[in-house]
Structure 1
Amino acid sequence: MMNAAGLFDIQGQNAIVTGAANGIGRAMAEVLLANGANVTLVDLDRSVLALAQALDGSPGRAQGVVADVADAAQLTEAMARAYGWQGRMDIVCANAGKGAGAGPLNPAGALAAVSPQEWTGIVELNLTSVFNTIQMAASYMRPQKSGRIIVTSSVAGLRGETMVGYAYAATKAATANLVRQAAIELSRDNVLINAIAPGPIRTNIGNGRMHDGTVEEAFAGRVPLGRIGEPEEIKGVTMLLASAASSYITGAVIPIDGGCNACG
């Protein structure tokens, strides 16, 4: 019988995390490294280079790559660098994304206020780059007959949400169903793909508005646990979905939201 250490063993596996400079992506990279995976941290923010250097050897190896994952060529290069490090691709965290401003009850977030440029920019990063990341990950994993893909969706993609923008809610709903769709195909090659659906988490998304006390209080008032979450609270589910502990889980969308989704 395998014990807990064996179930969650990712020692020596090769991983890549997009949007890794801070927030949920950083938490994902930290927990994978702490458990012995070798991780390529990718972000448009150049601070990812210093972060990778600081995390290297803790105990996994870390390398940083500055790339805009919404640019298919840059994403392709980042994935190739990650794969080339060990000649395999075991864990891919498609986490990069951004907020879309105010929700629909705020005049700034109403239908008429959403510009084509804003809509297109959010779709390119939150949806198209996620599809591209999954597609590229699959091209490396399918010949291996193994792999884990973890996509960051959102509770805002599972139900209506008054406090987030149209483009964010729409793209996060799309990523949730993208995961379900991809699971049907990739399961034939033992590549498992799942999504996490965070509720309000204290990150820098939306220009850091989750660090604003008034905004935090508003979000916390909608959470059954009575508070917003911390990025560290993503780590447990990341380990579950990255390891053998999730060997019979694919196509799932797992809320990490303090009970928000239970309220409908």
Structure 2
Amino acid sequence: MTSWINVEGKVAIVTGGSRGIGEAIARAIGQSGGKVAIASRKKEGLDGALERLRSAGVEAEAFTCHTGKLDDVRALVASVVERFGKVDVLVNNAATNPHFGPMMTADDAAFDKTIEVNLKGYFYAARAVAQHLVDRGAPGSIINVTSVAGLCAAPLQGIYGMTKAAVVSMTQTLAVELASSRIRVNAIAPGLVDTRFAAAIVHNKDLAERVIGRTPLGRYGAPDEIAGAALYLASDAASFVTGQTLVVDGGMTIA
């Protein structure tokens, strides 16, 4: 019996796919019948992730790409189309958070870097994949990994949270503008997840306990728990879902 939530035959690009949430999403899509192109800035990380994915039975390729650079994004989409023949799904996951501290103390370099990767990068990739889908006359799914930091106040992560709030807005507007082309655009807002990206909180006993203390499930999440949400949004099971932000945070934002 074929699972209702599957992506058989679909080709997905996962940015920030060399570790953590991105790698988990790539593995979930690949093990559910999809083909996966993982992208990241650093080749070393991609090589390790590619080996792990292929060992798990995933048909995958890796591509170096700085998503904040328009030419890199265009080259990424062209390379994936050349390798797999098409793109059906984009998972915008590459992100950065160079400033951990009060917003008032952020310098211009950290501010600009966060905007470049977390916002411009998402927009560049979404636009490139959407144009490819429109040119093919094909339906598709764009999934933006945002954060609960973009849904409420984000002390010590204010610049990061600001970009993630903008991603929610971008998701909603693109969902409306691309609906007539049968392209769905949704977002996932993870809470605290045990990744290297979140190490500043997860490995800080006081900060971690503060977050967990207001999380009804009483723990932080794992990358695979975010991957399930992405798999659903990528699949035809979510064919009537667009413009939404699926919060996966153990209940933190309702507590």
TM score, norm. by length of structure 2:
0.93
Q: Is 1:201–1:210's contact at 8 Å kept on the other side of the alignment? A: no
1:34 and 2:31 matched:
yes
Secondary structure of the structure 2 residue equivalent to 1:205: coil
Q: Provide the rounded CA distance (Å) in 1 between the counterparts of 2:29 and 2:171.
A: 21
Q: Which amino acid aligns with 2:188?
A: I
**The 10-residue stretch of structure 1 (216-225 or 115-124) with the greater mean CA deviation from structure 2:** 216-225
Select the residue among 159, 162, 187 that pairs with 2:152.
Answer: 159
- Name the structure 2 match of 1:10: 7
1:144 paired residue number: 137
Would you say the 8 A contact 2:27–2:58 is kept in 1? no
CA-CA distance at 1:220 after TM superposition? 1.3
Q: Which residue of 1 aligns with 2:164?
A: 172
Of the three residues 188, 191, 198, the one matched with 2:180 is 188
1:76 paired to 2:67: no
Maintained 8 Å contact 2:12/2:35 = yes
Give the residue type in structure 1 aligned to 2:147. Answer: S
Return the letter of the residue paired with 1:73.
Answer: D
- In the alignment, the residues of structure 2 paired with residue 27 and residue 101 of structure 1 have an alpha-carbon distance, to the nearest angstrom, of 25
2:99 aligns with one of 95, 101, 104: 101
Quote the residue 1:66 is aligned against: 64
Select the residue among 236, 239, 243 that pairs with 2:235.
243
1:198 aligns with 2:196: no
Work out whether residues 154 and 199 of structure 1, in 8 Å CA contact, stay in contact via their aligned partners in 2: yes
The DSSP-based 3-state class of the residue aligned with 1:56 is helix
Q: Does 1:116 align with 2:113?
A: no
Aligned sequence identity (%): 28
Q: Residues 149 and 157 of structure 2 are in contact (CA less than 8 Å); yes or no, is this contact kept in structure 1?
A: no
Query: 1:204·1:210 contact (CA, 8 Å) conserved in 2?
Result: no
> Displacement, 1:45?
2.6
Q: Which runs of 5+ in 2 are unaligned?
A: none
Amino acid at match of 1:68: H
Q: Is the 8 A contact 2:12 2:88 kept in 1?
A: yes
How far is 1:6 from its partner? 4.7
For residues 57 and 36 of structure 1, do their structure 2 counterparts lie closer, same or farther at Cα, with a shift above 3 Å needed? farther
Q: Is the 8 Å Cα contact of residues 202 and 210 (structure 1) preserved in structure 2?
A: no
SS in 1 for 2:219: coil
- Per-residue displacement from partner, 1:8-67 (whole Å, max 9, x unpaired)? 221221111000111110111010111121101101132212321332274441111122
Structure 1, 129-138 or 83-92: larger mean CA deviation: 83-92
Distance change (3 Å), C-alpha of 1:37 and 1:58: farther
8 A Cα contact 1:12 1:38, kept in partner: yes
**Conserved? CA contact 1:153–1:175, under 8 Å:** yes
Alignment equivalent of 2:214, drawn from 205, 216, 222: 222
**In the alignment, is residue 212 of structure 1 matched against residue 210 of structure 2?**
no
Gaps of 5+ in 1: 103-107
One-letter amino acid of the structure 2 residue matched with residue 257 of structure 1: D
Q: Are the counterparts in 2 of residues 203 and 210 from structure 1 also a CA contact under 8 Å?
A: no
Measure how far apart 1:252 and its partner are.
0.3
1:87 Cα deviation after fit: 1.8
Tell me whether 92-101 or 24-33 shows the greater mean CA deviation. 92-101
Per the alignment, in what secondary structure is the counterpart of residue 37 of structure 2?
strand
How many pairs does the alignment contain?
252
Q: In structure 2, what is the Cα distance between the partners aligned to 1:232 and 1:54?
A: 15
Query: Following the alignment from structure 1 to structure 2, what is the Cα–Cα distance between the partners of residues 15 and 212?
Result: 32
When the two chains are superposed, the root-mean-square deviation of aligned CA atoms in Å is: 1.7
Q: Could you tell me the TM-score, scaled by structure 1's length? A: 0.90
1:11 corresponds to which letter in structure 2? Answer: E
